[in-house]
Structure 1
Amino acid sequence: MKILYDFVFLIFILISLPVYLLKGKFHRGFSRRLGFLPNDLPSDRPIWIHAVSVGEVVLMRGLISRLRSSYPSKSFVISTVTPTGNKIARSLAENSDFITYLPFDLSFITDRVMRKVRPCIFIIAETEIWPNLISSLYSIKVPIAVLNARISDKSFKGYSAIKYLIKPVLNKIHVFCAQSKNDRDRLISLGVDPERIEVTASMKFDQARKLSEGVNSSKDKLSLKEGEVLLVAGSTHPGEERILLNIYRKLLGAFPYLRLLLAPRHPDRADKIAALVRHFGFKPSRISLFQPKEALKDTVFILDTVGELISFYAAADIVFVGGSLVKKGGQNILEPASLGKPVIFGPHMFNFRDIAAEFLGSKAALQALTPKDLLLIIKDLLENKGRTIELARNSKEVILKNQGATEKSLGLVRKLIV
């Protein structure tokens, strides 16, 4: 089985190489994915944390801090897959830590790397299942923990198709800290021993509250006038900006004091969005180029920088969270909610189903099933200040009620560290 998997994965890598070349995805750390490591690795059986990209690295920040306090003599290995995630990981590292890229899931690579590093525990953020990596760790008796575990609709469908192949791999993982009962049920359905699963809730609630503390609003950067109201559309995807601009144009007649900021999920789309803004008759103003004293008439702001969205959420009066009007599964609503903002999202929240359901059930967020719904909801919030205050209060209560997943996960991890 291992030989067949290695063969298929190797063919996949070889096919992908031209794509990597064309897209410029080769980077200085690429050799790490092939298993080439420096000689000066941590020799104290380090704590290895794998976080695929930026979101997962940020999610692990609180846990890393707590683990450092509990195990001050331990070094950390933090692996990512993306260069952007790797950059964030470096900002969390101390002198004795090693920041790297996850080795390709070929047994002759994962065996060599894990035997060389010999971590005392391997922690996976969210749910990435790499059969050879997991088997290599299991063979040298390194405990494995999956934190903030979630099984998406797409993953569940894929794993279910190979259930009898994936079941032995999943049961080599010592503990799954599941986000919800639904995730627990799906793991059990895939053959995981129920004794290996604990429902700890989502660590994103802890993360959101922590990020919201001390956030400085970017409202002054926009030179908004007294009485003007800012609608921030965060993490938008292609197709959503057109809907939002159409709604904004319709609302301006009755609410001339309304201002719009579009924050695309991928800031490199800023040029295309600027062209779309012009098509609707507005003046695009990119945040990276904006002059504070620019006139605001007919201006639509475009957030084209990385890492500033939360400060513009703090500046917002109303927030729409994207990836939800189109079938992308939604984006994280917890950051604006933790800041006490009225939050709206669309019908497609399947990647955040449990969180969305909790907010809706607590009357802490609003869901627009259609573009017309979205227009009417924004109109109602602009006309009804009491409604926005109620949503803000309820959203903060939901955030507070769901604190503690990091602490619960930490308790389970401590039991495994050897």
Structure 2
Amino acid sequence: MKFLYFIFIRLLIIGFRLGSVFNSKIRKGWEGRKKSNIIVKNAFSPNDKVIWMHAASLGEYEQGLPVLEGLKKKYPDYKVLVTFFSPSGYENVIKKKTIADAICYLPFDTRKGVASFLKHFQVELFFTVKYDYWYNLLSELKQRQVKTFVVSALFYPSQVFFKPYGKWMVAELKKNINWFFHQTKDSLALAQRVGLSQSSLSGDTRYDRVKATKANFEEIPLVKKFKNQSLLLVFGSSWEAEEIIAEKVAEVNSDVKFIIAPHDLKRVSILKKKFPQALLYTELDEQELENNKENNILIINTIGLLSRIYAYADITVVGGGFHSAGLHNILESAVFGNPVLFGDKYRKNPEADALIEYGGGKSFSTPEEVVQFIQSLILDESLRKRMANSAEVFISNQPEATEHILSKF
């Protein structure tokens, strides 16, 4: 199996090289990796003690960030490195103000590449988020006696670890990782079943993240003024399916306000064609709102606002659940006590099942079903309030995962 992993990495590199010619996202990852060594060499000296967080993409970064921030407070003299596998994570975070001293792509997982990368700094703590494992890297960190952890670990039955051919990978994890902090009881049980006894249940750090967002909430005056006293539906991280839902609901509810925040800003032009009278957030000011009181649709054409926009919602639809890309963050909405509606493609999102069980969320197999249920929520205030209260209670009942994890360091 070790030899097959070697072949896999070589094929991955070839795939990236060829794919970079045709695909802009792959090209960003390919070109970005050429700069990773230079970035860490410029940011660190060989003797710098570094806390290193690796995240596959943006969602995992958000999941690991509370732990990273806590570790930085605990070890203020240590420097911080954040690496990504995917451009969608790197491209987003590199534009933000962060606590990281360096942000770059994770080099391809060859022994030579890993060793070359690590010679520029001294890793004191390393953690990866959820389930992004690179076995040459883990082996090299073990040889250097680096404490290595997995935050918000998530195992599920269809993973390779639970197949006959996954024994080598399980053995590598058992040998090279000090501790797994699991999101769910099911994940913990699966890990222990294959001998990964260095495990505990911590819960999901994303709950801590959204609780902090609510506790430190900052108003968005223009969104508040747009909502006014109206019922507000927020479509967060929308894909085409959610936008079809918005269109159908808007056709028969002119007295309801709508905010649509697409998952990709490239969809803004599509939305503007679908809703030609809609307002664009970046073009808004108080006078514009005053002059366009009859316009009940607002398109968010900038990033970074959605988690706060949910505070103004009465009903929310979160995107991705009707798409193979998977469900986006439902917790950002639930923390503000909103009914949360979404498609049923969420296998890797155990929090969705938990929210449904509490009564704060509901999944659907078709967009048409969502349209019908939204109409029920619009007409039935008591149903809205029951779901809203259930969502809020669900979040407040979750354990402090970050606190549990930091207590082990």
Partner of 1:335: 332
- 1:93 maps to 99
1:238-317 to 2 correspondences below 5 Å: 238-249=240-251, 251-252=252-253, 256-275=254-273, 277-278=274-275, 283-290=277-284, 291-297=288-294, 299-317=296-314
Could you tell me how far 1:99 is from its partner in structure 2? Answer: 3.1
**2-side partners of 1:113 and 1:3: how far apart?**
22
The Cα offsets for residues 132-191 of structure 1, whole Å up to 9 and x where unpaired, read as 11111122222210101123676x1587374123122221211111110222233345x3
* Distance (Å, rounded) in 1 between the aligned partners of 2:9 and 2:393: 46
When residues 205 and 37 of structure 1 are mapped into structure 2, their CA distance, relative to the original with a 3 A threshold, is closer
Which deviations, in whole Å up to 9, do the C-alpha atoms of 1:376-413 show, x marking residues without a partner? 3222222222332232222222111113111111123x
**CA shift at 1:335, angstroms?**
0.9
How far apart in 2 are the matches of 1:48 and 1:365? Answer: 35
Indicate conservation of the 8 Å contact 1:233/1:262, yes or no. yes
Instruction: Report how far residue 13 of structure 1 moved.
Output: 1.6
Residue in 2 aligned with 1:385? 381
Distance change in 2, residues 1:261/1:66 (3 Å)? same
The amino acid across from 2:390 in the alignment is N
Answer whether contact 1:216 1:314 (CA < 8 A) is retained: no
- Deviating more after overlay: 205-214 vs 294-303: 294-303
Greater displacement, 115-124 / 216-225? 216-225
Seen in structure 2, the aligned counterparts of structure 1 residues 161 and 315 have a Cα distance that, compared at 3 Å, is: farther
| Cα separation, partners in 2 of 1:152 and 1:273, compared to 1, 3 Å | farther
1:213 to 207, 215, 223: 215
Partner of 1:129: 133
Give distance in 1, aligned partners of 2:36 and 2:165: 26
Distance in 1 between the 2:337 and 2:186 partners?
A: 27
Q: 1:197 aligns with which of 199, 212, 220?
A: 199
- Aligned length, in residue pairs: 399
SS in 2 for 1:72: coil
Please tell me the residue identity of whatever aligns with 1:136: E
Verify the 8 A CA contact 1:216 1:311 in the aligned structure 2.
Answer: yes
- For 1:110, the equivalent position in structure 2 comes to 114
SS at match of 1:397: helix
2: CA distance, partners of 1:40 / 1:259: 47
Q: 1:271 to 1:196 in 2, by over 3 A?
A: same
Which residue in the other structure is 1:394 paired with? Answer: 390
Distance (whole Å) between structure 2 residues aligned to residue 261 and residue 153 of structure 1: 38
Label 1:54 to 1:325 Cα distance change in 2 as closer, same or farther (>3 A).
closer
Distance in 2 of aligned mates of 1:379 and 1:165: 52
The residue type equivalent to 2:151 in the other structure is L
Q: Secondary structure at the match of 2:337?
A: coil
Helix, strand or coil: the match of 1:329? coil
Whole-angstrom distance in 2 between the partners of 1:165 and 1:364? 41
**1:307 aligns to what SS in structure 2?**
coil
Partner of 1:163: 166
Q: For 1:171-215, what per-residue CA distance to the aligned partner results, in whole angstroms no more than 9, with x for missing partners?
A: 1211111110222233345x342x211111111111110112232
**CA distances 1:42-78 after superposition (whole Å, capped 9, x unpaired):** 4243221112333333333322232123223322222
What secondary structure does 2:149 align onto?
Answer: strand
Q: How far did residue 368 of structure 1 move?
A: 3.6
Structure 2 gap segments, 5+ residues each: none
Matched AA of 2:238: T
Shift of 1:39: 5.9
Local SS of the residue matching 2:260:
strand
Partner of 1:53: 57
- Give 3-state SS (helix, strand or coil) of 2:292's partner: coil
In 2, Cα distance between the equivalents of 1:81 and 1:366? 32
Other structure's SS at 1:177 match: strand
Distance 2:122 2:152 in 1: 24
CA contact (8 A) 2:343 2:365 kept: yes
Aligned partner of 1:63 in structure 2 is 67
Q: Which amino acid aligns with 2:386?
A: E
Note closer, same or farther for the CA distance 1:286–1:152 as it changes in structure 2 (3 Å cut).
farther
**Structure 1 stretch displaced more, 295-304 or 67-76:** 295-304
Could you state the TM-score of these two structures normalised by the residue count of structure 2?
0.86
Determine if contact 1:346/1:370 at 8 Å carries over to the other structure.
yes
Q: One-letter code of the match for 2:44?
A: L
Structure 1-normalised TM-score? 0.85
- Pairing partner for 2:317 from 317, 320, 331: 320
Residue 177 (structure 2) aligns with: 173
- The Cα of 1:325 is off from its aligned counterpart by 3.4
Q: Which residue identity lines up with residue 264 of structure 2 in the other structure?
A: H
| Whole-angstrom distance in 2 between the partners of 1:39 and 1:233 | 42
* Equivalent residue number for residue 15 of structure 2: 15
Change (3 A) 1:26 1:326: closer
Larger mean CA deviation between 136-145 and 9-18 belongs to 9-18
* CA displacement 1:318-355 (0-9 Å, x = unmatched): 11112123444322211111112222223223221x31
- Corresponding residue for 1:142? 146
Identity of aligned residues (%): 22
Separation in structure 2 between the aligned mates of residue 192 and residue 325 of structure 1, nearest angstrom: 36
Moved more, 263-272 or 76-85: 76-85
